[in-house]
Amino acid sequence: MRARIRAVLAGAVDYESGLDALTVTPSAEVDPELVATVHESCARLWRGGWQPAELHRVVVRRGSPQQADLVTDAVAAHLRQFSRNTVDERWLAQADTLGARVWWTSDATYLDELATRGRLDRVAVLDLMLSLLAILAALPPIEVLVPPPGTAAAPADRSGAVGPSRIDKRLLDRVRALLAKAESTSFPAEAEAYTAKAQELVTRHSLDVALLVARGGDPAKVVPFARRIGLDQAYDGEKASLLDAVARANRCHTVWSPELAFSTVFGFDADIDAVDLLYTSMLVQAHRAMARTEPPGGKAGRARLKAFRQSFLVAFTVRIGERLASAARAAVEDATGSGNGNGMTDPADLLPVLASRDEQVRETMQRMFPRTVRVRGARVDSREGWESGREAADRASLPIHDSARRG
């Protein structure tokens, strides 16, 4: 049975013919092998660097939500083999977010229970499993950023540095709460106040961590890291550009992998935490502003609406990138007093540290991705979308402290 399944996946047997052959074979012969093959294929990808949320997202993109649900089940089945103290907390958190749990009675009856649960006939169930295997077989191994289940859980501070290398959980909760209020309020002044405080917290923490390591820690033990951030399929190129603009303003760099539905963000942990939070907030604000200004859709206006949205996001990203870059420079000047002695930190202490950390981030990115290519920017086919996007970016609440904007 394994040989038959492999033959279909390898193209040695026509897919429809292979599916027909599995359909007429007794389920007692087919089902255990098909389920085991899916679980083994997922386990290979977990060991090859894939994380639950990443695999779920790419299967949605290349297949269907139903097939992604099968991945969620494979996550639950995989976790049965390991004690929780040997599974990294980030892996567990993604499994919990997906809702991974063993709901079926046994692997031997999984396909029958799946058919009943989804109101599917047997051919449809076998087709889901077999086509999922084809998707999984085509995925390459990627960089291991989170230890796979069965290995010792990573410490909370992966760098081994003296002092915190990530934003404190309590601080993260405060920042998330502030950004949530900024996104929900309809009053720009309120949003500005909430986001200003949020950026004050993350910026000061980032600078404090950099100086702490430079002064009292062992810089050799504090290394840049990488985190993959998923990008939704619609207008993913424009979203990747927005993420890159936010990352660059926060001393991080990105590499977009469009075929795998994510961008890899390189930087130090505290800075990547800030990028993740700020990108999410900027994306929410962009979508809400776009929904308020976009032209009507419908069959006749579908092309116009698509051009408007793409142009809107391009313009929003360009303008937000300008504002973020300017605000980031102002934040550093505020911290150092622009060299006039009024800041809390001597520029001679801070600026060389930031330059050294940027070089480390670049080296890490080039080591992991020695060959990258620049992509051509998206076309702007809608003037109204471009103008609306820039106006929305000008109105967007940047989480920048007022004193930083004043310089």
For residue 30, the model assigns a pLDDT of 94
212 lies in the same domain as 356: yes
Query: For the segment 153-204, what is each residue's pLDDT rounded down to a tens digit?
Result: 544 444 433 334 566 677 778 888 888 887 787 765 676 567 667 766 777 6
Q: Choose one of 113, 137, 161: the last residue of a domain.
A: 137
Supply the pLDDT for residue 388.
66
Summarised one tens digit per residue, pLDDT across range 142-153 is 999 999 998 865
Domain count, the chain: 2
Instruction: Look at residues 244, 186, 190 and name the one whose alpha carbon lies nearest to residue 377.
Output: 244
Angle at CA of residue 67, ends 64 and 73, nearest 5°: 145
pLDDT of residue 264: 95
With respect to residue 38, please indicate whether it lies within any of the assigned structural domains.
Answer: yes
Which residues does the chain have with pLDDT short of 50? Answer: 154-164, 339, 341, 400-407
Q: Are residues 23 and 84 in the same domain?
A: yes
Q: Which domain, by its residues, includes 314?
A: 169-406
- Percent residues over pLDDT 90 in the chain: 41
Does residue 301 lie within any of the structural domains?
yes
Listed in sequence order, the residues at least 6 apart from 58 whose beta carbon sits closer than 8 Å to its beta carbon are 135, 139, 260, 261
pLDDT (0 to 100) of residue 172 = 78
Count CA atoms closer than 13 A to 346's CA, side-chain side: 3
- Residue 6 falls within a domain, yes or no? yes
Would you state the pLDDT for residue 102?
A: 97
Q: Dump strand ranges (E) for 59-196.
A: none
Backbone angles phi, psi at 339, to 5 degrees: 80, 5
Cβ atoms of residues 165 and 159 within 8 Å:
yes
Position 163 scores a pLDDT of: 38
- Same domain membership, residue 273 and residue 173: yes
Domain-embedded: residue 221:
yes
In a domain, 146, yes or no: no
Whether 368 and 290 share a structural domain: yes
CB 368 within 8 A of CB 226: yes
Beta bridge partners of 227: 265
pLDDT of residue 185: 72
Long-range contacts of 82-88 (CB under 8 A, 24+ apart): 82/149, 82/150, 85/153, 86/149, 86/150, 86/151, 86/152, 86/153, 87/149, 87/150, 87/153, 88/146, 88/147, 88/149, 88/151, 88/153, 88/154
